[in-house]
Chain A
Amino acid sequence: MPITEIYIVDGSLEGLLCAVFEWFERKPGKVLLQLEKKYEPDAFAQALTIYNDPAKADRVWKGLNQKLDGSWMRKFYCAFLSELPEAFTHLFEFTCYLFLHGKGAEANFGNEHVLGISQLAKKVEREKHRMEAFIRFKESADGLFYCGIDPHFNVIPLIMKHFKDRYADQKWVIYDLTRHYGIYYDLEKVEEIYFDQEALKKLSKPVTGQLPEKENLYATLWSDYFKSTNILARKNTKLHVQHVPKRYWKYLTEKQGK
């Protein structure tokens, strides 16, 4: 089917939902979703900028909630957090498809957008799980545990609860260095925070005073442990790298100096 219109969206969830609303109002046929900052005019299709309207977005969101159960709503959200260009198309087409079909249509894995969303969600959940596994905190002078990350997808909203439940008795900061925001837990609640370059530098450089000794001791002990628990006769580098891809090595205390 030829594309009849291009919808220009701003990349927010609200914008995406408004695009769905817009489509159902006029049903123009096949529509292509493009991000504002990546928009390229097309000679044969008309472009329409989608303006965000909380009321419209809310109606679509409520509709989705009625159609989908919790696990599918999570998949939808995860696919959105992937921030990949194809995610917007999949989400848009998937939502339209859902509203055009009866209950249970999301189980149709033969549909490319249903499959697309579930595959995107899987990728994002894997990255989330890896962050839960590979984040390594360093304790700084004021007893704050810090770790900077640069995940492929925007997973901080997904890992927040995990870390809050787990490290309830220590203050910590997880900072997304590429998306320039982080979360801070102050023993009561988790807050979003933004650092400038100076503050970041201070956090990531080794601290002075009594603490580095303790921090270094545990880092050394952990690296030692990592070595002693390995069985040389079973060396399998391929499997090792498959489980711990090289792009995560920079986080890992046990992989430093290699």
Chain B
Amino acid sequence: MSDRLREKLNILADAAKYDVSCSSSGGKRKNDNKGLGDSHASGICHTYTEDGRCVSLLKILLTNHCIFDCAFCVSRKSNDIERAAFTVEEVVSLTMNFYRRNYIEGLFLSSGIFKNADFTMERLLKVVKKLRLEERFNGYIHLKTIPGASEELLMEAGLYADRMSINLEMPTEAGLKLLAPEKSHVEVFKPLGFVQNQIVKFKEEKKLIKSVPQFVPAGQSTQMVIGATAETDKEIMQTAAAFYKNYSLKRVYYSGYIPISNDNRLPILGTQPPLIRENRLYQTDWLMRFYGFHVNELLNDANPHLDIDVDPKLSWALRNLHFFPVDVNVASYKTILRIPGIGVTSALKIVQARKFGKLRIDQLKKIGVAYNRAKYFISCADTPYQLKDYQNTQIKSFILAESQSKYIKTDTKQLGLF
């Protein structure tokens, strides 16, 4: 009995691991029924896998049986792998017992599509309802929306889940059509839009009537696989920006494609996953959401790809040297945020601290500014007088010479001559 359970968990956790979303933030479910669990607004990562990704939720598929044959997916119909399926009770007892031991923040439940969308969604809903209603579970639940499931089912699922998500899979429609001819982006837009409208509606109603239940309180997210097809960074980030805007998504995840098949439409087996590119995309995502950058400032027709050797903020600064130097003692918060080497926390501290006197270099360093990087772009109370202006290529080489890229070691492939 327990051996079969182990086997199933191994198969279905392995199949779910390519979904990168694991956040448990944004939930505000309170434990007011003396049950188990209480969501933490900022989320908690309970452990990290050896690839350095956070483990916050028990991330599993209900089953990896699937009627679709998407080239980029391990669970595709034509793939010769072991198949398994959990029963509703098994998922519930795993979740409860893991949660009781403080292993996890909650459940991330996805599934291959068996029979049809509604049938699959119904089974997912059964798990969630049992957890919430019978087991009085108040932990975090991230539920996959199955494209094509009926609105009644989505409506009901939204009442029990904290977050819902549908994966866009490929950044462009053309890319998706190439690898998964049976799917289309429209199938994603519809349910995303439906859930988003419901979220807004419930929030409005809750303002008037306090007893209105929560509906997907932690919002929606999506994921794009990158590096499987030939999209530019510009196309990827413009798609992401449009989704943030149109569907108020909480997160867009970028998942570097890890070769899993010999399909000739895809990178060959053994190709390194595009980890640096993925990192740069996330940095761009952050700049858009927290630093007030517009996607077109970072990526445009002149620069359709992100720099690999420097981060997108530095790269923007080097292209826009006329914007600098910024005097941190007078500049606005928004302007300070654009300086390479200064993050949100330091910017906030600078704005508060400068009311008490002009800030000096040593104070900036203590506050947490990466001064070696920032010094080319700022002036403060005791900035040394500089006779010549540097070219952007010079600044870039100074910064690269001083900093140790975490990727350098793994990425230098140049061979010696002898």
Contacts and interface: CB of A to CB of B under 8 A. Distances in A.
Contacts of B6: 220-221, 224
B2 A217 contact: yes
Centre residue among B9, B17, B35, B47 by max chain A CB count within 10 A: B47
Interface stretch (B49-57, B117-125, B150-158, B301-309): B49-57
B47 A226 contact: yes
A167 to B, nearest CB: 7
Contacts of A132: 40, 44
B52 A239 contact: yes
Contacts of A138: 101
B47 A109 contact: no
A137 B104 CA distance: 12
A231 B44 contact: no
Interface in B94-144: 94, 97-98, 100-103, 136
Contact of B46 (A109, A133, A234, A238): A133
A256 interface: no
The number of chain B residues touching the other chain, given as a range, is 35 or more
Contacts, number: 155
B155 to A, nearest CB: 29
Interface string A207-233: 000000000011011101111111111
Given A167-B100, A224-B6, A239-B52, A129 B258 contact: no
The number of chain A residues touching the other chain, given as a range, is 35 or more
Contacts of A236: 50-52
Interface string B36-78: 1110100011111111111100110000000000000000000
Contacts of A25: none
A254 interface: yes
B319 interface: no
Centre residue among A231, A238, A243 by max chain B CB count within 10 A: A231
A115 B58 contact: no
A218 B367 CA distance: 45
A221 B94 contact: yes
A45 interface: no
Contacts of B273: 233-234
A55 interface: no
B136 A169 contact: yes
A243 B356 contact: no
B44 A224 contact: no
A137 B354 CA distance: 47
A129 B161 CA distance: 25
Contacts of A136: 101-103
A252 B48 CA distance: 11
Contacts of B30: 165
A234 B47 contact: no
B363 interface: yes
A146 B172 CA distance: 50
B345 to A, nearest CB: 10
B361 to A, nearest CB: 12
Contacts of A253: 101, 103
B102 A135 contact: yes
B406 A238 contact: yes
Given A107-B352, A166-B31, A169-B36, A229 B101 contact: no
9 contacts: A107-B352, A167-B36, A170-B36, A218-B101, A224-B13, A225-B13, A234-B275, A235-B50, A243-B54
Interface of B: 2, 5-6, 9-10, 13-14, 16-18, 30-31, 34-38, 40, 44-55, 58-59, 94, 97-98, 100-103, 136, 256, 258-259, 272-273, 275, 349-350, 352-357, 359, 363, 366-367, 406
Interface of A: 105, 107-112, 115, 129, 132-139, 145, 147, 162, 165-170, 217-218, 220-222, 224-240, 242-244, 252-254
